[in-house]
Structure 1
């Protein structure tokens, strides 16, 4: 018997996939209608979270944040079976994941943080990536079940909270990537370049292919043999800022990058590879 707490877009599709695999699933959601909607697929919905976990040997959690997870588990624990395993897929802080692991272990339960790089479709199709770290004995025991839920389980070793940090790091990259795309489209619009032409450019030129080489260059601290000098990159950033100003275009990312470039040029790194702006972060 499994219980699933939190049946939003991601959680509800996890539940549907579990039922499709033959699992019996009890569900709860703060908005009860979302849990009850899963009854037509074979889930059993409860209004009381403590009732929803009764009889379950594994409890999956997909909620909002640290505070919500703590609040819901505190209410649910009245119905916990002895030695139950809690698998939390919520994106939380690393500190929160570490604290919950220790807290629930002290109470005689197993807590494993297993955040995901998965959207609702991935949850339904059991594809995407699930991240884990911590007690390797626990991970070995639950990995067969986790593997049924996702395309790949990525184990980051025995350090508690590392999976949470890796998840946030990945999301940080996605946020900055999207902000960069937004700046690109805004800049193009200001120059009367249609979005279709932007798409055509990236259909032919894939800057993502440069990422492994760029990351290696940065992590190796190899800034003295530039492929693009910082002073020249800053010149281009200046042209972008000037064009944006002339066209009343608001850019979110480039002004901050230009300021960071100026700081490193003032330190005497103008002739270094422009990626030297990451030097203090390695």
Structure 2
């Protein structure tokens, strides 16, 4: 029997995940603090709840996709008593190492099975059900939630039996993502400042070992000035802070992270925070 699913948080990522769940034939109830974002999913077949508590009642799997650990804790803390004794909480938001420990502890206080399940991918993979789902937590809970992961992702990577391992891996992945975005931004800005057409840079690396689909995607947005968000710059900035925190605890050098965070902060303070991360290019251009 297919699990019933509650999705709390229907922003760029959450809404795409909901549509993927519905395409897979799962029964989905949604909630979002901004109700308009949730109501838009009713036309796709989702049931829209008027509260987070109403959304989680009767759900077999509760999926959270919110901005940070505080938002998740504020949402889930009051509603955990509403979850059934066999329900599973799959926490997909990127909240870092300490945030995951905090949320796992909150779940344990209420006797709720907790899975640490951040996802790799942005807007388009979420819409297409092609995310990579990183999972750590009790194997029986992971088995129960497996149909949910199969609906939202093309791959499920089981990282460990204890919550936290998946979030650590997500930070590693997002460190690379931030490096690619900032590296492409610097080269696109440099090309323009040297009097070149920045498209020449993307053409020069196309199909070479230096190339990647993500570099071309973000680079094209930078060249065209198209910053429609698939991963908002402020989200990358938040994640970069979590990565630096984890790296500092682990003793890993943070020089590159420090430089990237400086540019992300500059772009955010210049008004690009809600735009796509590609907008960081504006912080690299000559002034």
Q: TM-score, normalised by structure 2?
A: 0.68
The answer to whether the 8 A contact 1:118-1:130 is kept is no
Alpha-carbon shift at residue 124 of structure 1 (Å): 2.4
Q: Could you tell me which of 188, 192, 195 is aligned with 1:189?
A: 192
Cα separation, 1, equivalents of 2:125 and 2:208: 28
**Contact (CA 8 Å) 2:205, 2:211: kept in 1 or not?**
no
| Alignment map for 1:122-271 (pairs within 5 Å) | 122-203=125-206, 205-207=208-210
**Counterpart-to-counterpart distance in 2, 1:43 and 1:65:** 24
Secondary structure at 1:207 match in 2: coil
Q: CA deviation at 1:76?
A: 2.1
2:108 is matched with 105
- Name the CA distance, whole Å, in 2 between partners of 1:204 and 1:34: 39
Give the superposition deviation at 1:71: 0.4
Structure 1 runs, 4 residues or longer, greater than 6 Å off? none
- In the other structure, the counterpart of 1:48 is 51
Q: Which has the higher contact order (CA 8 A, sep 6+)?
A: 2
1:38 lines up with 2:38 in the alignment: no
Q: Residues 84 and 183 (structure 1 numbering): CA distance in 2 closer, same or farther, change over 3 Å? A: same
Residue 145 of structure 1 and its aligned partner are, at CA, apart by 3.0
In structure 2, stretches of 5+ residues that fail to align are 213-255, 261-287
SS in 1 for 2:95: coil
2:79 alignment partner in structure 1: 76
Count matched residues. 214
TM-score (norm 1): 0.69
Q: Is the 8 A contact 1:83 1:108 kept in 2?
A: no
C-alpha spacing 1:67/1:256, structure 2 compared with 1 (3 Å): closer
Counterpart of 1:25 (choices 2, 6, 28) is 28
